[in-house]
Structure 1
Amino acid sequence: MPERKPAGFFRGEKEQPTLITEAAVSLEQQHHNRVRRYTIIMAFRIPCLVLSAVAYSIWGNWVISMLIIGVSIPLPWIAVLGANDRPPRSKDEPSRWDGRRNQKALDSRPHKAIDG
């Protein structure tokens, strides 16, 4: 008997099930996405350093090499900020400051002072 590949209820349906819940992405998946983002950004740093050496050897101009190295300097900072960022907030997620928008910071009516 031939083996059957797992599939959905309908022919041509993808192997992954359709997401029908409003549950957030799991913490493991968020961590995996952040590690992948960090790795991709940091992977650009080594080619920048190699490219600066190649540019110097081809043109003999140290300014171009320094510009390429200068582009690679903020990459670790950008990678860390991107890796530590949380997933974007959904439109359905309530804002924590909604209740405070209608409150007045100071009372504007005049008050009587009592001198003692």
Structure 2
Amino acid sequence: MTPADKPSDPYTVDVEPEAPSAKRRFHRGRRRAGELITDARRTPEQNLRSRERNYMVLQALRIPFILLSMLSAWYWDNWWLASLLFVVSIPLPWVAVMVGNGQGEKRDPRQKNVYKPAVARAEAHEMELDAKRRHALDSRQRDASPGVAIIDHDDE
């Protein structure tokens, strides 16, 4: 059956598959870089709150470890467990500080570094204009409001 003998179907396309090019074969063994499909990331404020929460949890764990150490030594007479719990409680403040001072979420290497100084200048200019407008409105309101009259009075 030749292509001329086939019924014409608008949904059928007779195309020969393309042979893979040499360039495509060369890259076949390498892993392709992933594409960013979303920019939904945690904000710096969310990162800070997360690190603060981890810091507080790690700092708060030190007291229960020390109390369990004392409990296991005195009431259960288990000195091995007491010493283990106490030794674990010693580096907890250091670990808490390291976690709290950490960088937080790492930058995605697929994200492009783009600095747009014109946008930064426009935002700074807009903020400056807003401050001037607020100052003008405040001064206009002070002038429009009835002022307090000061009367000097001398008792002579």
TM-score in terms of structure 2 length: 0.41
Note the C-alpha offset of 1:84: 1.3
1:56 and 2:44 correspond = no
TM-score by length of 1: 0.54
Determine which structure has more spread, i.e. the larger CA radius of gyration: 2
1:25 matches 2:42: yes
Distance across 1 between alignment mates of 2:46 and 2:77: 46
Residue 85 of structure 2 is aligned to residue 65 of structure 1: no
Unaligned runs of 5+ in 2: 1-36, 113-156
The one-letter code sitting in structure 2 at the alignment partner of 1:90 is D
Amino acid at match of 1:82: V
Give per-residue Cα distances to partners, 1:72-107, cap 9 Å, x unaligned.
Answer: 10111111111111113324147xxxxxxxxxxxxx
The equivalent of 1:37 in structure 2 is: 54
Aligned equivalents of 2:58 and 2:110: distance in 1?
30
Residues in 2 aligned to 1:61 and 1:23: alpha-carbon distance in whole angstroms: 50
Offset at 1:51?
Answer: 0.3
- Identity value in percent: 39
Amino acid at match of 2:57: I
Paired residue total: 75
Query: 2:80 and 2:64 mapped to 1: Cα distance?
Result: 18
- Gap change, CA 1:93 and 1:76, over 3 Å in 2: farther
**The one of 50, 54, 64 aligned to 1:47:** 64
**1:89 aligned partner:** 107
Q: Which has the higher helix share?
A: 2
State the shift of 1:60 in Å. 2.1
Partner Cα separation in structure 2 for residue 93 and residue 44 of structure 1: 37
Code of the residue aligned with 1:29 in structure 2: it is Q
